Amino acid sequence: MTRFIFIVGGVMSGIGKGVTAASLARILYNRGYAVSAVKIDPYVNVDAGTMNPVEHGEVFVTSDGMECDQDIGTYERFLGVDLPGINSITTGQIFQEVIRKERGLEYNGRCVEVVPDIPNEVIRRLKLAARQARADILLVEIGGTAGEYQNILYLEAARFMRHESPQDVAVVLVSYLPIPHALREMKTKPTQQAVHALQAAGLQPDFIVGRAAQPIDVPRKRKLAIFCNVAEENVISAPNLSSVYEVPLQFEREEFAKRLCKKMRIPIRKPKAVYEKPWMQFIHRSQKSTKTVSIGILGKYFASGAFVLEDVYISVIEAIKHAAWERGLTPKIQWLDSEAYEQFPQKIKELKQFDGIIVPGGFGARGTEGKIGAIHYLRTKYIPFLGLCFGMQLAVVEFARNVANMRQAHTTEINPQTKFPVIDIMPEQVTKIHEKILGGSMRLGNYTCKVIPHTLAQHAYSRKKRTNIAVIANERHRHRYEFNNEFKSKLERLGLICSGINPDKQLVEIIELKNHPFFIGTQFHPELRSRPLNPHPLFLAFIEAAHKKPSV
């Protein structure tokens, strides 16, 4: 029998529901339970792939090619597993499936209704995810905040499930407790109202996770317990911590796993050292790191009005942290705006103050020339560079323009008429675009990459052990354009090394340069596979090279 733990948000979004779900998953996993996690996104999009990054944040890609919310990435990092795409649910998918069944007369002629047919389809999906994962416990994070119209049908699904078997379902409300500057007191009223909103949907929370700048003190725990109808020991304090990876430790201090097991009437096991110890060691490494390594991320999806959105590159940031901590370094990450480099090319010189620069994935023309200018600077000034997907493609463009003298070289994504289409659309993509099949149709998910012996990439993947054996890597993809093999031999003659190749289609997966401390571009997204306990080899190698760079 699978137990289901629903994680619901209160007061506002962005307070760490995903990290709460992932941390809960981790502490239950540490106890030897088979755990999996599902994210429900209440938007109508079928997946996250068609949304603008500024609107949505990072699009995480699973190994089986689902474009989903960044929370799936958080779960993967905390659990150290690859999750399947079915663990990402959207309203688009639920309605699509209900309508498909209706058209196929699968409802046997009866009237198909929003309630109960939509919640029932949600429940079918949750049970399917639980079955496929053989989960003892399935964490289900419902996106949005209690009281929103959008997620009401998911709360209804949770209510149905709890009605059917109350002891198998727990509800955790993750809420925010503000400490207004002028009052200097932690206020519980917004959380009380969030509980009322949840109760109006027929759900009483069993636990309240109180997110706040500070720990919740006893008087306020008591107040929340009384006014929210929750046992006092089930009010869990979740103050700000220096890293999200410390949240499982905080939950242990609050005896959260014990209380959850008690609520769900499953054995209260002790954490197993084999699972818990590596995590603790990782936390110690992160806290003990003294020397810094400064990394710039050159992108364009940061600005939203007066604010900077870091979520867009969350997996890149986490991958940098994992690798840096593994080497005992504290990463200092700075945002660099490629559009500013386009307007003020002399600003590019500021790159020399960094130990290494990452040019991450991207789409479209805006800021592209700024990135190409920056890559030129990094190549010629021997500054460690890691290009991810679009970053790799633009490194090829820069090399073609400035080393191979093909001045108009470009990717056909930006200039379809270019004389030198060194990056070009994949043939199977052309028909998809013509037929307007644009959602979920990129080259997505895992593809193999044969890493060529005696290259920097091979050196990184084999962790320096044996440089004469080809490594086979499995890496995640999300792109429509590709290195154009027509230009391969010409660029190779001039010094570009194609150090990773997809053996089935001969597609170039990794490029690098000789006579440079570290210059690597990958067509795939290594950041999506980096884990705290298992940093990605390319990020490790990049951080090592960055650490070696003499400071200016």
- Using CA atoms, how far residue 507 sits from 96, 446, 447, 524, in Å, is 34, 14, 10, 11
Cα–Cα dist 73/319, whole Å: 11
> Closest CB to ligand GLN belongs to which residue?
361
Nearest CB to ligand GLN, comparing residues 197 and 501: 501
User: Per residue in 69-88, is it b (16+ CB within 10 Å) or e — as a string?
Assistant: bbbbbbbbbbbebebbbbbb
389 is a site residue for ligand GLN (CB under 6 A) = yes
Active-site pick, 389, 459, 477, 498: 389
Q: Given the complex with ligand GLN, which of 234 and 393 has the nearer CB atom?
A: 393
Residues 216 and 142: their CA atoms lie apart, in Å, by: 24
CB of residue 443 to ligand GLN, shortest distance in Å: 8
Site string for ligand GLN, 84-103 (x = CB under 6 A): --------------------
Tell me whether residue 68 is one of the annotated catalytic residues. no
- Residue 196 is among the residues annotated as catalytic for this protein: no
Q: Looking at beta carbons only, is 36 or 530 nearer to ligand GLN?
A: 530
Coil vs helix vs strand at 50:
helix
Residue from 4, 377, 481, 518 touching ligand GLN (CB under 6 A): that is 481
Q: In the complex, what is the shortest distance from the CB of residue 436 to ligand GLN, in angstroms, rounded to a whole number? A: 16
Between 326 and 413, name the residue whose CB sits nearer to ligand GLN: 413
4 vs 194: CA distance, rounded Å = 21
DSSP assignment string, 93-114 = HHHHHHHHHHHTTTTTTPPP-H
478 binds ligand GLN, rule: CB under 6 A: yes
Tell me if 422 contacts ligand GLN by CB under 6 A. no
How many C-beta atoms lie closer than 10 Å to residue 33's C-beta?
18
Q: Which of 56, 410, 479, 525 is catalytic?
A: 525
CA angle 460, 463, 464 (to 5 degrees): 90
Phi, psi of 22 (to 5 degrees): -65, -40
> Among the options 76, 318, 326, 527, which is catalytic?
527
> Which H or E element spans position 170?
strand 169-176
Binding to ligand GLN by CB under 6 A, coded x per residue (else -) over 433-472, reads: ----------------------------------------
Nearest CB to ligand GLN, comparing residues 75 and 481: 481
Would you say 520 and 510 are in contact if contact means Cβ atoms under 8 Å apart?
yes
Q: How many angstroms separate the CA atoms of 510 and 182, rounded?
A: 54
We find the least distance from the C-beta atom of residue 359 to ligand GLN, in angstroms, to be 10
CB of 521 to ligand GLN, least distance (A): 11
Q: Contacts with ligand GLN in 402-421 (CB under 6 A)?
A: 413
Considering the complex, what minimum distance in angstroms separates the CB of residue 444 from ligand GLN?
10
Name the minimum Å distance from CB 327 to ligand GLN.
26
The answer to whether 390 contacts ligand GLN (rule: CB under 6 A) is yes
Beta strand ranges found along 270-412 (DSSP E): 291-299, 303-304, 307-308, 329-337, 356-359, 385-388, 410-411
Does residue 521 bind ligand GLN (CB under 6 A)?
A: no
Respond yes or no: is residue 527 known to be catalytic: yes
Measured from the CB atom, the residue of 389 and 513 that comes closer to ligand GLN is 389
- Interface region with ligand GLN, contact rule CB under 6 A, candidates 143-151, 165-173, 477-485, 513-521: 477-485
Task: Give the whole-angstrom CA distance, residue 394 versus residue 388.
Answer: 10
Residues touching ligand GLN, count (CB under 6 A): 10
Establish whether the linkage from the previous residue to 116 is cis, with ω within 30° of 0. Answer: yes
Binding residues for ligand GLN restricted to 328-387, rule: CB under 6 A: 361-363
Contact 423, 397 (CB under 8 A): yes
**At its nearest, how many Å lie between ligand GLN and the CB of residue 420?**
17
Q: Which stretch binds ligand GLN (CB under 6 A): 48-56, 83-91, 460-468, 476-484?
A: 476-484
Task: Give the separation between CA 406 and CA 358, rounded to whole angstroms.
Answer: 25
Query: Do residues 59 and 68 lie in contact, with contact meaning Cβ atoms separated by under 8 Å?
Result: yes
Which active-site residues does the annotation give? 389, 525, 527
Chain residues binding ligand GLN by CB under 6 A are 361-363, 389-390, 413, 478-481
